[in-house]
Structure 1
């Protein structure tokens, strides 16, 4: 009798261990990471993905169209200050179409919000590789490089901030905000010629975008 109890207890423990290890095989929280953290999904997660794709195939003419709809939803949550739900929708869009450049821009912005600056830059680069003509992606990348400069004081990050702002302005030449950012960036250099040049341009577009301290550095006050 005692032997049977011990044997049954050991069998129950073994089953519980198997169940626990099965659950451990499913990586948790990956829908809150870009591209699901590029993790190896468990069977349950793969099944869920297949069901999601099948449902989208019924609702939309193509997966490309479905991805665009989910990108739209993701931006809605992003601008409504719901980053976790935004990341989930961007990930679903990524499942549908891995060649949609806007998805990586969204991923990059979300990682920038989490202060994962180098990862955000890597994601912006993916977006630009797929579509080099979106001025806003260069602007987003300039923000990440600017934050890295403020943290590290490494001039290379300041240089890259300016390079990306100029790339954005080539595509969107009337963006007063980016001219203001470019003016502020040049205030950190010892040579002030470029600062004064872009200060004049910004003033023509919107003088309110120039910080009084930057004017002082430029010698206007």
Structure 2
């Protein structure tokens, strides 16, 4: 099936729902200045100095108390993949533009990110060995958009969910980006869940942290923890 014929058959999915976004992030926040001094009063001085010298988007009404958490959450949960040089090659991007990936459920994001962690980062770095861990965070982000829906066409074009090859899907994403579509929805290549590729951050809003996760490589599989020390999923 050609890309041209695929576009002839496509329809839109009008989505108004929370989308799960799974990213690398530590479970417990750390003080930015605790390596400079053991005295918490020194940390407060450093924080006040930092806030006094930052540009206006980072100022606070209570600079000694409130850090710009809302903006930090927005950047972490939404804006990061749209900001160069953070663009990267993926299923629907050749690396020449940014795309945000979310899913219908936390479990779907786990299947997706576990696969990429094991077959990308760990394999490339030579760290695919017992006991390796990574910490992650899941956000719920509101999505409101009419997205191009590839799910009805997957049987006719299985390349849309090929586990490793993106040569068919990257031109599709590039066309959607060039022509101004807000994004797309497809089926996960790793499980039966649904995935969302967002090309326009304006259709995303209200990021809220859902949970923290830990991945641990063990006995040839990945154990996933929500609560520290308690396995939640095994993949």
Report which of the two has the higher share of strand: 2
Structure of greater Rg: 1
- TM-score of the superposed pair, with normalisation by structure 2: 0.24
* Structure number with higher helix proportion: 1
